[in-house]
């Protein structure tokens, strides 16, 4: 049984990253954000670095849906109400785990 579970755990990790990449594209986040490079908005790595060690998943998920301005400059992030709460939390978790 142990020999069976180990490969399953390792196979599940890449699927999670692929799913989150798909969400980034589905919700058009990549139009303004990239993982390593600042585009219109901050890179996901910049966001992860700023909030590292803080419990920010729910707050970032709310910001993804509601939009905002002032944290990263004066260019506003428009609201994204079409992003479900579940997708917003998955995106926030993914972004905050970037190293």
Alpha helices by DSSP H, the chain: 2-26, 44-51, 57-66, 85-96
pLDDT at 6 over 90: no
Residue 19 has pLDDT above 50, yes or no: yes
Given a cut of 70, whether residue 12 has pLDDT beyond it is no
Domains of the chain by start residue, with CATH: 2-96 (1.10.760.10)
Question: Which pLDDT tens digit goes with each residue over 39-66?
Answer: 999 999 999 999 999 999 999 999 999 9
Tokens of 53: 């060690």
Predicted pLDDT of residue 21: 85
- Would you state the pLDDT for residue 86? 95
Sign of the CA dihedral running 15, 38, 93, 30: negative
pTM here is 0.79
């Amino acid at each position: 049984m142990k020999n069976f579970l180990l490969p399953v755990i390792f196979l599940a990790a890449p699927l999670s990253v692929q799913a989150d990449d798909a969400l980034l594209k589905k919700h058009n986040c990549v139009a303004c954000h990239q993982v390593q490079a600042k585009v219109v908005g901050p890179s996901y790595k910049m966001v992860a670095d700023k909030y590292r060690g803080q419990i920010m998943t729910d707050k970032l998920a709310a910001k993804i849906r509601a939009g905002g301005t002032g944290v990263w400059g004066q260019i506003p992030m428009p609201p994204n109400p079409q992003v479900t709460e579940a997708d917003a939390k998955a995106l926030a978790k993914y972004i905050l785990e970037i190293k």
